[in-house]
Amino acid sequence: MRPPFQTVLVAVSGSAQSLNAAKYGIVLAKAYHARLLAVYVVDTETLKELLLSRIFVEEESADYQRSLEQNGQRYLGYVAELGRKKGVTVETHVRRGSVSTQIIEAAEEYGANLILLGAYEGQPTLRDVIGRQHREMLRNAKCSLLVVKEAAIDDLYRGA
C-alpha cells in the first residue's frame, strides 16, 4: 500500500505554532519516509501595502524586508537542525510574495501531497493577515492541508 503522502510541505513563519507544525512534519516524514520541505515566505505583498499606505518609507521597507529574510533563514536553519536530530532531511526554501500564493505554488512546484500549517491562536480581526492567508490556502490549494494543533507535539517529537 502506498503511503497517504510522499512529500510534506510545512509553512514556517517563526511563530511557536509554525514551529510545532515543523516538528509534526518531522514526525510524519520519519514515520512515512516522506520528503519534508520547510518554506518561509517573506510577505512582500504586505510590505507593498504598508509602503503604499505610507506607513513605511522606501528605506524602512527595504530594511524590514532584509530583516524578514534573515529571520526566515534563521527559522529554517532551526527547523533543519530539528530534522537532523531525528535523522530527517529538511529541504528549506525562502520565497517572496504573498504568503498563501507562494505556499500553494511551492506545494505544486515540489509535488507536495500535504501542507502543514500552524494553528492560528488569537482573536481574528478584519486586518488579520495570518487568518486571511490560511483561508486563501484552504480555498486554493490543490492538495490536502492539515492545521497542527497537537498539544503533545514535544512528546511526539522526542519519541520519533
Domain count, the chain: 1
Task: Write out the DSSP string of 3-71.
Answer: -S-SEEEEE--SSHHHHHHHHHHHHHHHHHT-EEEEEEEEEHHHHHHHHHTTSS-HHHHHHHHHHHHHH
Q: Indicate whether 63 belongs to any domain.
A: yes
Question: Quick one: what percent of the chain has pLDDT higher than 90?
Answer: 59
pLDDT tens by residue, 36-95: 999 999 987 765 665 555 565 666 656 766 888 999 999 999 999 999 999 999 999 999
φ, ψ of residue 41 to 5 degrees: the values are: -115, 125
More confident residue, 108 or 49: 108
Closest CA to 131 of 119, 149, 115: 119
φ, ψ of residue 86 to 5 degrees: the values are: -110, 10
Q: What are 150's three cell numbers?
A: 497537537
φ, ψ of residue 123 to 5 degrees: the values are: -85, 120
Q: Look up the pTM and report it.
A: 0.85
Q: Indicate whether 1 belongs to any domain.
A: no
Q: Indicate whether 85 belongs to any domain.
A: yes
Q: Indicate whether 92 belongs to any domain.
A: yes
More confident residue, 1 or 52: 1
Q: Indicate whether 150 belongs to any domain.
A: yes
Strands 35-43 and 7-11: parallel
pLDDT interval class at 127 (50, 70, 90): very low
**What is the model's pLDDT at position 37?**
98
What value does the mean pLDDT take over residues 21-47?
92
Q: Indicate whether 2 belongs to any domain.
A: no
Q: Indicate whether 55 belongs to any domain.
A: yes
Q: Indicate whether 45 belongs to any domain.
A: yes
Q: Whole domain around residue 51: which residue ranges?
A: 7-159
Domain with 42 in it: what CATH number?
Answer: 3.40.50.620
